[in-house]
Structure 1
């Protein structure tokens, strides 16, 4: 019986620990999240398409993992998707799906891993949160967008309970640096009785 990794995810405390965790999880990641009914990729892709139904708009799938998010974006109608992830093993899974135009390894120590204006749309699907990317990553992604660019992402229930993450979102909204286009709470991992908020933000 393969090891279970999901329950261990939310206690990770460093970028290196997180990368190692996902490297080890890569082979069984999809089976474990799918047996728990993982629906967030489809929810985010559909929300993004509702605001930007443009198939040829290049999208950066930040933290693309094994490519489930890329497949969801494809199903929604998007056709030009690049992926970035810190786990080489996860990227191997993404390559096998042929959902991406390009796939690159993310250097977690790079303070600006995405060139400003390189993408009109960035997705962070199941990426921002406890045991994954820290709150500062929110700034990294928003700063990589030009005015009018979109960030589509999720906060699961664990993350919604952490004021460091919700506070980071509110920093951008409260000062008018970003505009909320879409927000909806719904299922995330039903098998774990866990929900998530899905968001689409526009940089002001």
Structure 2
């Protein structure tokens, strides 16, 4: 029986702890989240396709992990997907999925790891939240988009309970720097009775 890591995910406090946790979890990640019916990747991918049904438009899958998000994006219709993740062991799983054009890593402490205006759409599926990427990651991704670019992402119940996360989104919306195109609350990890909000926002 493989070691379980999900229960510890929401107790991580530093970028280093987060990276080490996901390195150890890489080999059993798909099986463990699959046991609980991980639904958010498909929901985010379908929401993005609803707002941008462009099979040949390159997508950046930020925090792609083992590639479950890339599989969902591909199933939704997207054919050109690049993945980035700070965890090299997770990227091995992503490479095995066969859905990515390019895969690359970055230092988790790098404050600006993305090329500006390189993608019309970026996804952060199950990425920004407690025990994963911090609230300011939202700003990082929005700043990397060109005007008119789309960010498709999710906040699970743990993130929704912490106003620091929704606060970043609301700051962009309140300033008129972004426009909310899609928001839907629904299943995240049904086996644990966890839900998530799925969003698509446009940079204005």
Shorter-chain TM-score tier: over 0.9
**Secondary structure at the counterpart of residue 147 of structure 1:** coil
Determine the C-alpha separation between the residues in 2 that align with 1:184 and 1:151.
Answer: 15
Q: Cα distance, 1:106 vs. partner? A: 2.0
| Alignment match, 1:67 | 67
Matches within 5 A, 1:152-163: 152-163=152-163
**Secondary structure at the counterpart of residue 2 of structure 2:** coil
Determine the C-alpha separation between the residues in 2 that align with 1:55 and 1:111.
Answer: 31
| Alignment match, 2:145 | 145
TM-score of the two chains, using structure 2 as the length reference: 0.99
TM-score of the two chains, using structure 1 as the length reference: 0.99
**Count of equivalent residues:** 204
174-183 vs 100-109, greater mean Cα deviation: 100-109
Matches within 5 A, 1:7-22: 7-22=7-22
Q: Cα distance, 1:38 vs. partner? A: 0.2
> Could you list the per-position Cα deviations for residues 89-136 of structure 1 after superposition, in whole angstroms to 9, with x for gaps in the alignment?
000000111110000012222221111101110000000000000011
| Alignment match, 1:124 | 124
Q: Which runs of 5+ in 1 are unaligned?
A: none
1:196 and 2:196 matched: yes
| Alignment match, 1:133 | 133
Q: Cα distance, 1:203 vs. partner? A: 0.2
Q: Which runs of 5+ in 2 are unaligned?
A: none
Determine the C-alpha separation between the residues in 2 that align with 1:15 and 1:113.
Answer: 15
> Could you list the per-position Cα deviations for residues 59-100 of structure 1 after superposition, in whole angstroms to 9, with x for gaps in the alignment?
000000000000000000000000000111000000111110
Q: Cα distance, 1:138 vs. partner? A: 0.6
Determine the C-alpha separation between the residues in 1 that align with 2:85 and 2:184.
Answer: 26
Determine the C-alpha separation between the residues in 2 that align with 1:57 and 1:110.
Answer: 27
Q: Which runs of 4+ in 1 moved over 4 A?
A: none
CA contact (8 A) 2:84 2:103 kept: yes
> Could you list the per-position Cα deviations for residues 155-181 of structure 1 after superposition, in whole angstroms to 9, with x for gaps in the alignment?
000100001101111000111000000
**Secondary structure at the counterpart of residue 26 of structure 2:** helix
